[in-house]
Structure 1
Amino acid sequence: MTDRPQPQPREAYRRFRRLTTRWMDNDVYGHLNNVVYYSLFDTAVNGYLIDAGALDIQRSEVIGLVVETHCNYFASIEFPTAVEAGLRVERIGQSSVRYSIGLFAEGQPLSAAGGHFVHVYVDRQTRRPQPLPQTLRNALEGLL
């Protein structure tokens, strides 16, 4: 038995978002650069929140700041492969949420990368933590 993180199956996630890779995402080794995976995490989470009506990036009084992120890599992805990002919520706090994200090369059964992403929700102006608005909490509960 190993304690090392393992790729996850699609069934481990509640929702999926299809994301495209770009030519510039590849590094000199011919696969997506590690920083691109974090960008895909951010895009998947915030895209879900916008689509769910829980985030208005221009006007929401409460915004999520990333305070922690982590990624494990299991297999290469390269442009022009489409990525399917699996999302789930691991924990909802008073002002924070921990997401789990799995990145799958299109059509593959196991994640090529997986990790987590923590948002702390703060007042847009003061940057002080705020309770999660009910619309946001409702959208997050759909990912538990």
Structure 2
Amino acid sequence: MNKPAPAPRTAYRHFLPITTRWMDNDVYGHVNNVVYYSYFDTVVNEYLIRAGVLDVEHGATIGLVVETQCNYFAPLVFPERVEAGLRVVRLGSTSVRYEVGLFKDGEAQPAAQGHFVHVYVDRATRRPVALPRELRAALELLVVDADAA
């Protein structure tokens, strides 16, 4: 398996500062790998909520994660501030591929980068649905050509 080259900070459209917590570190002295996925969830959902396109309690359409991956390039540790960069590299009719870069405060290259894919479904039936117009518009602001970035 080939590890992808890290995408620089300039390849991302939206950023969220995240403060690491003492409990994020593991016994090896760095942020545990499962916490990185929590950071991914945090930046995506923060963006969607602030854009007004995600109602976590009552929204008729919800995103279910169907695929995830993370590549690690350098350790993150408490008490560092992390800046999570967000972009969309594929916007389908019912799904979205988000990519996230986790940067040490002010660094140009990510300590880690990864992706997850949301399939948007009806909350009640859990069957795929077309992306609502408002959601698509908010996501289009994040779209980049990953090959050109």
Cα shift at 1:6: 2.1
Contact 2:3 2:71 in 1 (8 A): no
TM-score (norm 1): 0.96
1:77 matched to which residue of 2? 76
Normalization by structure 2: what TM-score?
Answer: 0.93
CA offsets, 1:86-139, max 9 Å, x none?
111001111100011100011111000001110000011111111100110011
Aligned to 1:32: 31
Is residue 56 from structure 1 mapped to residue 55 from structure 2 by the alignment? yes
Q: Which residue is 1:16 aligned to?
A: 15
For 2:114, the equivalent position in structure 1 comes to 115
Q: CA RMSD in A?
A: 0.8
Alignment partners' CA distance in 1, 2:18 and 2:123: 28
CA distance in 2, matches of 1:124, 1:22: 32
Distance in 1 (alpha carbons) for counterparts of 2:104 and 2:114:
15
Counterpart amino acid of 2:21?
R
For 1:6 and 1:77, locate their aligned partners in 2 and report how far apart those are by CA, in whole Å.
18
Q: Distance in 1 between matches of 2:76 and 2:132?
A: 36
The gaps in structure 1 that reach 5 residues or longer are none
Identity %: 66
